[in-house]
Chain A
């Protein structure tokens, strides 16, 4: 039995009067790749952001790597173990690609600069852009920026990687280069939670697909079962719309 690394129990989240998460429970095992789908406003991103406490949940329980997310002291420790990749990359524009990767290593992990640079170079090579190490984010294409962002998260040696619609802001031709990096990561056994509508990626890499609507998990299952024979009517309607494109 694999080890449970993320445990969510009846999590509720309100934005003022809006009830964004309505009792979400979810267990993620070590090494699993979970792909979350659903219409916009269904709470997918909110769920992801609750897991590394960028959003504070109102009730329920979230345990990551054995640590209950509640008190402020725990948060920075938990966040070191969780890499996050954003839709809009959020690279630091005043730093080169290299320094984007090195900064948190030096500041948070207290690595010395030489070691941090070595790690950074290795990771940039891994995502296939070592030749852009001294470029600033503004000089890179969207796909390159997102690959730097993935490498930046990996530089902290996280146990879990969260992807919040990583390809939604990209031109179609750049999506593949980002997905390839994510696929390679999944093959290496990284625990990943991915909010994405990339069906190809879900089929190839996901160990589980989850469909969310109106702040609840409507359906979950293996990609085969999820795409071929969804049990819920809402999932069928959603998939028929998405797969038409």
Chain B
């Protein structure tokens, strides 16, 4: 019995008459050659599967020490994921504001945005994180004492909060540049068309430019997300009990560096691989005919 449906769909995808004469439905657009479900199972999924299987095999068949390590670091794993996602939401916001500031025609806004970008990306992330954790609370307390604001004078540093601030400030600068480039890559005629229809600057940004820029910036933004996930391990230096810090704590009591750091490395790897797949999926979804 030949698979009739398949042949019919192939015929539809390649026959010009039916494709151009009738309005294509979403379902039909999904049958464009090359976009079938099977092609989404590309070799990268095998890598994800392989890493997952290695982790499972280690944990199941070598449960001492791998299961013990996994159980010990699982709260660190949660912190790493939450820290990354929470920071990323704010990084997108800061990047959007910073990117718009960088292309602003107002010289003051432009100057502020440019200074921010140049300073924040010119200092190592680790140094910034240490500054926010050790120096910033003292600065806040001093200001509180000088201005007699007791809430500030008695400020107690919160490690996770300050780590998020550090990540957002640093990565927000990179993100600003990505958004700036994305917005500038959209042809000037798009703004002109939107403005000539009577839209304000903000309306044309929101409805015309940003939806198109988003498609352009998705690959570099996804890249930033993966880098952030990895760089979040730096917060282990400033008293945040993330995956890396929990791994170090386990090693300090059990003295088995090979097992601990192999598992921690594999855990980071599986997270970044999944993130990469997610981004690839988003990219595919957001394409449109040009």
In the bound complex, what is the Cα–Cα distance between A79 and B201 (angstroms)?
A: 13
In the bound complex, what is the Cα–Cα distance between A83 and B195 (angstroms)?
A: 11
Set of chain B residues within 8 Å of A108, measured between Cβ atoms: 197-199, 203
Out of A83, A136, A152, A156, which one reaches B288, CB within 8 Å?
A136
Set of chain A residues within 8 Å of B24, measured between Cβ atoms: 134
Interface-located stretch among A57-65, A87-95, A226-234: A87-95
Most chain-A Cβ atoms within 10 A of its Cβ — which of B190, B197, B215?
B197
In the bound complex, what is the Cα–Cα distance between A109 and B197 (angstroms)?
A: 10
In the bound complex, what is the Cα–Cα distance between A139 and B24 (angstroms)?
A: 11
Out of B197, B211, B212, B289, which one reaches A156, CB within 8 Å?
B197
Which A-chain residue is minimally distant from B19 (CB atoms)? A139
Q: Please, what's the 1-or-0 string for A128-156, where 1 marks a CB less than 8 Å from any CB in chain B?
A: 00010111111100000000010011001
Which A-chain residue is minimally distant from B196 (CB atoms)? A84
Q: How far is the CB of B256 from chain A (nearest CB, A)?
A: 53
User: How many residues on B have C-beta within 8 angstroms of the other chain's C-beta atoms?
Assistant: 23
Q: With contacts A86-B192, A135-B23 known, is A93 near B197, CB below 8 A?
A: no
A-B CB contact pairs (8 Å), 29 listed = A52-B196, A54-B192, A54-B196, A76-B198, A76-B199, A76-B200, A79-B195, A80-B197, A80-B198, A90-B189, A91-B193, A92-B190, A92-B193, A92-B208, A92-B212, A93-B288, A93-B290, A94-B211, A94-B212, A104-B197, A104-B199, A107-B207, A108-B203, A131-B23, A133-B23, A134-B23, A149-B193, A153-B196, A156-B198
In the bound complex, what is the Cα–Cα distance between A131 and B22 (angstroms)?
A: 8
- Interface check A20, CB cutoff 8 A: no
Interchain CB contact under 8 A, B288 and A138: yes
Set of chain B residues within 8 Å of A83, measured between Cβ atoms: 196
Set of chain B residues within 8 Å of A93, measured between Cβ atoms: 212, 288-290
> Knowing that A108-B203, A135-B23 are A-B contacts, what are 18 other residue pairs whose CB atoms are under 8 Å apart, sorted by A's residue number?
A54-B195, A77-B198, A84-B193, A84-B197, A86-B192, A90-B187, A90-B189, A92-B190, A92-B193, A94-B215, A94-B288, A108-B198, A134-B23, A138-B288, A138-B289, A152-B197, A156-B197, A156-B198
In the bound complex, what is the Cα–Cα distance between A104 and B207 (angstroms)?
A: 9
Q: How far is the CB of B23 from chain A (nearest CB, A)?
A: 5
Q: How far is the CB of A61 from chain B (nearest CB, A)?
A: 21
In the bound complex, what is the Cα–Cα distance between A138 and B212 (angstroms)?
A: 14
Out of B192, B208, B289, which one reaches A136, CB within 8 Å?
B289
Q: With contacts A134-B23, A138-B288, A138-B289 known, is A79 near B196, CB below 8 A?
A: yes
Set of chain B residues within 8 Å of A138, measured between Cβ atoms: 288-290
- Interface check A210, CB cutoff 8 A: no
- Interface check A47, CB cutoff 8 A: no
- Interface check A194, CB cutoff 8 A: no
- Interface check A195, CB cutoff 8 A: no
Q: With contacts A93-B289, A135-B23, A138-B288 known, is A79 near B190, CB below 8 A?
A: no
Set of chain B residues within 8 Å of A104, measured between Cβ atoms: 194, 197-199
Q: How far is the CB of B248 from chain A (nearest CB, A)?
A: 47
Q: With contacts A79-B198, A107-B207 known, is A86 near B193, CB below 8 A?
A: yes
**Which of chain B's residues 222-278 have a Cβ closer than 8 Å to chain A?**
none
In the bound complex, what is the Cα–Cα distance between A38 and B160 (angstroms)?
A: 67
In the bound complex, what is the Cα–Cα distance between A181 and B212 (angstroms)?
A: 29
Set of chain B residues within 8 Å of A77, measured between Cβ atoms: 198
Which B-chain residue is minimally distant from A149 (CB atoms)? B193
Set of chain A residues within 8 Å of B23, measured between Cβ atoms: 131, 133-135
Q: How far is the CB of A127 from chain B (nearest CB, A)?
A: 17
Set of chain B residues within 8 Å of A209, measured between Cβ atoms: none
- Interface check A182, CB cutoff 8 A: no
- Interface check A82, CB cutoff 8 A: yes
Interchain CB contact under 8 A, B192 and A90: yes
Q: Please, what's the 1-or-0 string for B176-220, where 1 marks a CB less than 8 Å from any CB in chain A?
A: 000000000001011011111111100100011001100100000
In the bound complex, what is the Cα–Cα distance between A160 and B23 (angstroms)?
A: 33
Set of chain B residues within 8 Å of A54, measured between Cβ atoms: 192, 195-196
Q: How far is the CB of A128 from chain B (nearest CB, A)?
A: 15
Set of chain A residues within 8 Å of B207, measured between Cβ atoms: 103, 107
In the bound complex, what is the Cα–Cα distance between A133 and B193 (angstroms)?
A: 19
Interchain CB contact under 8 A, A107 and B190: no
In the bound complex, what is the Cα–Cα distance between A79 and B187 (angstroms)?
A: 20
In the bound complex, what is the Cα–Cα distance between A80 and B199 (angstroms)?
A: 8
In the bound complex, what is the Cα–Cα distance between A103 and B208 (angstroms)?
A: 9
In the bound complex, what is the Cα–Cα distance between A136 and B24 (angstroms)?
A: 11
Set of chain B residues within 8 Å of A103, measured between Cβ atoms: 197, 207-208
